[in-house]
Chain A
């Protein structure tokens, strides 16, 4: 168990180091998030109050689109030179490899989110600083849900034809309950009406727990067969 966790951290460090050297996924994801944010300003012509009502929903749309670009790369980056086969054949358990990749994607997506949040606030004249820490908590919980399922699907689709098309088709419907919860909590926090968010938060936490345990258990079937 301890060995596995150490191996997971090692994989996460390797993935993050590779990513920070090229910044391929990070740059693409941040610029994509900015483009979507800009498009929102053309798509909606709302009053200030009305925009606050949908602020959490829009925020999570940006995050989930940007997340697709990050998790998509997770296992595909190991395909050239048969690196994935070597990683699977190594003595480390498959769940450790999967957990490491999820941690790396989680950190990357959280960075993208932390960059886009102030830009989102700036573009739309939203006051979010008062709710930063609770928002950061929701971002952490929901981002974990997005990455754990996204990286699992990235492993499922690694040998699939048209995998770039398949991943969102499989991933987004699964994320609906998580996103419904995260969107409503975020809207409530930004509006400063966060007295009754436990029900929504419970769904986000339940999603994280169910899919983390399911993915860690099933990953051996996905990677080894």
Chain B
């Protein structure tokens, strides 16, 4: 059942992505001020929203694990965070490429770049700590706690870098200020939907690995007991 879901989500996501890329690069004209590089928006922004969506899934599952002690939630949390990290990296790399062309620099310590990078570092700590705890229940509990701490920190990071004397280079978010042309909205929304589908397929693949790993661990424990 899960295998079928992985294939369906993966194939559907890929086909939709090809169709969407065709719309973005062939049908739509270049951005008025930036030309073709402005189309980075269609990958850059959906990648960030996809990452945040899966971080949100992870924190909900982490709380659910602490309440129920059901290891399924822990597996979903770690899978979601790993996939969200990949999409955060996609967002950072595409942003850096875009910045290099438009601003002439690869990186600047401004509001959005810093908050995104901090988010990446916070959850990197989560992924680094997991393999260092041998016992399964303890690993899941400590990971859940870290995920909750990280989620509580993100609003504060955003608040801190919005301070008046922190430099900023990033434009005002175009999605909030209505700076996006009406013809750009459908491919943008499709871009988000496509990445969510692909991310779901990746989470399911990672979830299968976690389940198998847990089975191997329990078999190993049984062997030791014998």
Contacts and interface: CB of A to CB of B under 8 A. Distances in A.
A148 to B, nearest CB: 11
A178 B193 CA distance: 36
Contact of B149 (A174, A199, A200): A174
A184 B138 CA distance: 38
Interface stretch (B12-20, B71-79, B118-126, B197-205): B118-126
Contacts of B122: 173-174
Contacts of B152: 210-211, 214
A206 B141 contact: no
A52 to B, nearest CB: 15
A90 interface: no
Interface stretch (A16-24, A27-35, A156-164): A156-164
B105 interface: no
Contacts of B161: 180
A63 interface: no
Interface residues of A, number: 33
Contacts of B124: 169, 173
B156 A160 contact: no
Interface stretch (A41-49, A96-104, A116-124, A217-225): A217-225
Given A214-B149, A221-B66, A199 B164 contact: yes
Contacts of A199: 163-164
A176 B155 CA distance: 12
Interface in A172-225: 173-174, 176-178, 180-181, 184, 196, 199-200, 203, 206-207, 210-211, 214, 218, 221-222, 225
B86 interface: no
B128 interface: yes
A176 B160 contact: yes
A79 interface: no
A156 B146 contact: yes
- Residue of B66, B142, B146, B157 with highest tally of chain A CB at under 10 A: B142
Contacts of A174: 122, 149-150, 153
A170 interface: yes
Contacts of B144: 221
Contacts of B129: 156-157, 160, 166, 169-170
Contact of B142 (A161, A177, A211, A222): A222
Given A170-B125, A173-B118, A218 B156 contact: no
B157 to A, nearest CB: 5
A196 B141 CA distance: 42
Contact of B159 (A157, A206, A218): A206
Contacts of B157: 176-177
Interface in B29-63: none
B145 A222 contact: yes
Contacts of A200: 163
Contacts of B134: 161
A83 to B, nearest CB: 19
B160 A177 contact: yes
A34 to B, nearest CB: 29
A156 B129 CA distance: 10
A152 B132 CA distance: 17
Interface of B: 66, 118, 121-122, 124-125, 128-129, 132-135, 137-138, 141-142, 144-146, 148-150, 152-153, 156-157, 159-161, 163-166
Those 7 A-B pairs whose CB atoms lie nearest each other, nearest first: A177-B160, A177-B156, A180-B160, A173-B121, A170-B125, A161-B132, A160-B132
Given A199-B164, A218-B148, 4 more contacts: A173-B121, A176-B157, A178-B156, A214-B149
